[in-house]
Amino acid sequence: MPSRLSLLISVPIVARVLATMAGTLLLTLPGAAQETATRSIKLELNALQKSDKGCRIAFVVENAMGKDIAKAAYEIALFTREGLVDRLLVLDFQDLPNEKTKVRRFDLAEADCDEIGRVLINDASACEGDGIEPGDCIGRLEATSRGSVTFGK
């Protein structure tokens, strides 16, 4: 049986070890949470331009997920200025390398740029890559618009 003196000495040591471990844990958790919180796909509706085919829509997309995305595609709904759904289409953004910003342009046949009032990201129809979950491409998407057309999910 340990003496009372040895118990008195070991309790402060154990308390200090536990306090140090708890402090280390508290210091690392906020950094890990912050790192996870900042992982996103930033998608900007950059421009709508008239083209020979109809309307060319340009997006600026940045993969800040921490991993390469092998394939990303989004189902998009186009609304008229009156708020009516004009069409649904799938835009294939292809591969999105980690920490890379890309411009992707799509020609919308027979669409009038002046009549597009809103672009809605309806869903992610493809989201693939090592360590990428199927829901990441929509769940971590941050949508912004540079122009007057409303854009979001």
Whichever domain contains 113, its CATH number is 2.60.40
Average pLDDT over residues 59-70: 98
Same-domain pairing of 148 and 94: yes
Tell me the two tokens of residue 122.
């309806």
Place of tokens 């991993």: 67
pLDDT at 34: 44
pLDDT in tens, 9-38: 555 555 555 555 555 544 555 544 444 457
Domain count, the chain: 2
48 vs 27: which has the higher pLDDT? 48
Q: Could you tell me which residues come within 8 angstroms of residue 104 by beta carbon, excluding any fewer than 6 positions away? A: 58, 59, 61, 91, 93, 94
Considering only CA atoms, which of 42, 99, 43 is closest in space to residue 76? 43
**What average pLDDT does the chain have?**
86
Same-domain pairing of 72 and 108: yes
Average pLDDT over residues 114-118: 97
Whether pLDDT at 117 is above 50: yes
Same-domain pairing of 94 and 70: yes
Same-domain pairing of 143 and 72: yes
Question: What is the Cα 73 distance to its own chain's centre?
Answer: 13
The pTM of this model reads: 0.75
pLDDT at 38: 75
Same-domain pairing of 144 and 124: yes
114 secondary structure, DSSP code: G
pLDDT at 2: 60
Same-domain pairing of 33 and 60: no
Tell me the two tokens of residue 141.
């998407």
Same-domain pairing of 99 and 86: yes
29 vs 53: which has the higher pLDDT? 53
Whether pLDDT at 103 is above 70: yes
Same-domain pairing of 22 and 57: no
Pairing relationship of beta strands 141-145 and 40-50 according to DSSP bridges: parallel
Please report, to the nearest 10 degrees, the dihedral formed by the alpha carbons of residues 43, 32, 34, 136 taken in order.
30
Same-domain pairing of 23 and 89: no
The CA distance from 145 to 100, in Å, is 19
The CA distance from 129 to 136, in Å, is 10
Residue type, 84: L
Same-domain pairing of 136 and 99: yes
Same-domain pairing of 111 and 74: yes
pLDDT at 32: 46
Window from 17-31, 61-75, 83-97 with minimum mean pLDDT:
17-31
Instruction: Name the residue range of residue 10's domain.
Output: 1-37
Same-domain pairing of 67 and 30: no
